[in-house]
Amino acid sequence: MRGDFLSCLNMIYGKPASVTVIKGDWKTGKTNFGLYLAQVLKKCNLVQQMGGNIECFKDLKTRERDPKFEFIDNFLRLEMWGYTPFRKVYIFDEAIKNAPSRNAMTKLNKKWLEIIPELSKMRCHLIGITQEDEYIESIFKNKRFLHAEWNKLNYSKSHPFYRKVVTLKSSKYFHGIKKFKPIPKTSLLYDPYQTAIMTLEPKSNTIDGLPMEIKIAFDYGDGLSMQDIKEKYKLPTRKQSTREVRKGICKVKYLCLVSNHLRRVIESRPVTQSDQS
């Protein structure tokens, strides 16, 4: 399984960007496989960063977030993270709940219509996880962007390959359907009963949901010294404080560039009849 599996990953995720879908029945381990897939992509150096609207933890009891996996549950954060100069993979979990086709003109779906064509500029692979892929926004299935479909097979709990088998279909790269087993579990810790959400902006008007380096940059702008920042964020040295300030400023710059770029894209797009209705 290993050699052929890695060969397929190189074909699909060796490109600058892609959309892939993971589907399967309820409780077949789709989220677990998505996280495992992200880990393999990073281990193989096909991506440098992992993120998604799945909250991963260092410890499930303390609920301290795992810094190896960026928790991004809103489009503002996704754009900020997406336009950083790294190869990355973003997992959009429970796509059936977040982007149903029957509400195709909602603000969330319009946002996906803006973001998915920009994935190559973001150097980002988007993996959508859903029970019923026919219900997700049609752009997820657009042949121009969709590179492959994974399907977690449903076996009974008594079966030796329960939650351990996945098939792969990709008309772009090969004919037929490939089957891989056994698929290991992810080592990332997450709460499988926690509902994944996606919003346009952070839930609150505070900066609590922003990355630490951006909060540090804001504090620096408000007059905190490097020593103050070191103590507030429990950083090892003042030099590390300086690094975090610089990282935060860079991310804010990227956000400004993203906002300007998306505004120009929207303004240049022809007005359709559905926009006027």
Half-sphere exposure of 143 (CA within 13 A, CB side): 3
What is the structure's pLDDT at 23?
Answer: 93
- pLDDT at 95 exceeding the cut of 70: no
The tens digit of pLDDT for each residue in 232-255 reads 888 999 999 999 999 888 888 777
Q: How many CB atoms within 10 Å of residue 236? A: 8
pTM, full prediction: 0.74
Half-sphere exposure of 99 (CA within 13 A, CB side): 24
CA distance from start to end of the chain:
52
User: Which residue is listed with tokens 């789709």?
Assistant: 30
Please give the biggest Cα pair distance in the chain: 61
- pLDDT at 98 exceeding the cut of 80: no
What is the structure's pLDDT at 276?
Answer: 35
The tens digit of pLDDT for each residue in 174-212 reads 999 999 999 999 999 999 888 788 888 776 655 666 778
Beta bridge partners of 276: none
Report residue 272's pLDDT band, with 50, 70 and 90 as the boundaries: very low
Q: In the chain, where are the structural domains located?
A: 2-190, 212-276
What is the structure's pLDDT at 265?
Answer: 59
What is the mean predicted confidence (pLDDT) over 104-127? 85
Tell me which CATH code domain 2-190 carries.
3.40.50.300
The overall average pLDDT reported for the chain is: 85
Are the beta carbons of 108 and 101 closer than 8 angstroms?
no
The tens digit of pLDDT for each residue in 17-55 reads 999 999 999 889 999 999 999 999 999 999 999 999 999
Angle between helices 75-82 and 238-268 (to 10 degrees): 110
Q: What angle do CA 272, 276, 277 make, to 5 degrees?
A: 115
